[in-house]
Amino acid sequence: MQRQYSGTAGRVENCQIGVFLAYGSARGHALIDRELYLPESWTSDRDRCRAAGVPDGVGFATKPRLAMAMLERAFDARVPFGWVTGDEAYGQVGYLRSWLEHRDAAHVLVTRRNDAVVTTDGGQVAAEELVAGLPAQAWRRLSVGAGAHGPREYDWARLPIRTDWKPGRGHWLLARRSISRPDELAFYLCYGPRRATLLDLAWIAGARWRVEECFQQAKNEAGLDHYQVRSFRAWYAHITLSMLAHAWLAVSRCLATKGEPATTSRA
C-alpha cells in the first residue's frame, strides 16, 4: 500500500495496483493473469517486504515488465491469440513493442501524440504531425462494436511507417478521430500481417473495451475489489480466486449461448 497514481481513480491516492492480462474472443472475455505492482520504495526495503510476506526473490519490475512476464507465460502455455492490444502505459514503451515484434506477436498499442515515429523514408516525425498531413479521403467512418450508448463509431485512418518490414508483415500508424469532437484523436502503433486492413486494425484497437468490461464484471459478479488485505500472499489469493470465478461465469455464458458467435470481434 502506497500513495501512487491510480488509473481507476484517475488521481494519486493510497492504493495497491495490479497489472492484468485479459483474453477476448467473439465468444467472451476474461482476466487470465495478474501481477501486483510493487513500487521501488517497497522493493528496496527488504524488511518492509518481509513484513508483508513478499519473497526475497521478488525485485522491482516496471508495469511493462510485468506485462511482458504475463504475456510470456501465455505464449509458453500456447494460449491461442491473433493480436495483442494495450493502452498508452504499454504502447509508448519501445522495448515492449520490440519484444512483441521479436516474438512475431501482432499488436495494436496506444501511443502518445508526440511519440516520434520512424517514417518509410527513415526520418522521425511526431505521430500527430504525420496524421495532420493525411488527406480527407484517407479517413473512413467505422463502427468497432456496440457500446453502452449505441455503436462505438469513429473516423479512422492509417499510414505505413518504418523501413524494416519483414516478409508478410507490416508496420502502421493508426489514428482514431472523434466524430463529435474532431480535435480528439488517439494514436496506435501497429505491427501485423501485411494483409491486415484498416478495419482489422480498428477492430483490434476497439477490443480494449473488453478489459474494462472484465473489470466491471469481475467487481460486480466476483468481488474482485472486495478485499482489505495487506500481505503479498493474501492479495494473490483473493485476486486469483475472483478471476477464477469470473472466468467460470464467462465460460458458462459462452456454453449457454446458442448458435454462432456474433461477429463483433477480430481479436
pLDDT at 246: 94
pLDDT at 147: 67
pLDDT at 260: 52
pLDDT at 145: 76
pLDDT at 64: 97
Full residue range of the structural domain in which residue 238 is found: 1-83+226-267
Q: Does residue 74 share a domain with residue 166? A: no
Q: Does residue 202 share a domain with residue 91? A: yes
Q: Does residue 76 share a domain with residue 89? A: no
Give average pLDDT by consecutive 10-residue segment, the chain, 267 residues.
54 75 91 95 92 93 97 97 95 96 97 95 95 96 78 94 93 97 96 97 92 91 88 95 95 77 45
Residue 158's beta-bridge partner residues? 174
* Secondary structure (H, E, C), 147-215: ECCEEEEEEEEEEECCCCCCCCEEEEEEEEECCCCCCCEEEEEEEEECCCCHHHHHHHHHCCHHHHHHH
Q: Does residue 72 share a domain with residue 100? A: no
Asked if 125 contacts 136 with a C-beta cutoff of 8 angstroms, the reply is no
Cell digits of residue 76: 509458453
The CA distance from 204 to 107, in Å, is 8
Among 77, 90, 18, 89, which Cα is nearest to 242's? 18
How many separate domains does the chain show?
Answer: 2
pTM: 0.88
pLDDT at 266: 42
pLDDT at 255: 86
Domain annotation covers residue 211: no
pLDDT at 221: 93
The beta strands (E) that lie in 89-168 are given as 107-111, 116-118, 124-126, 140-147, 150-160
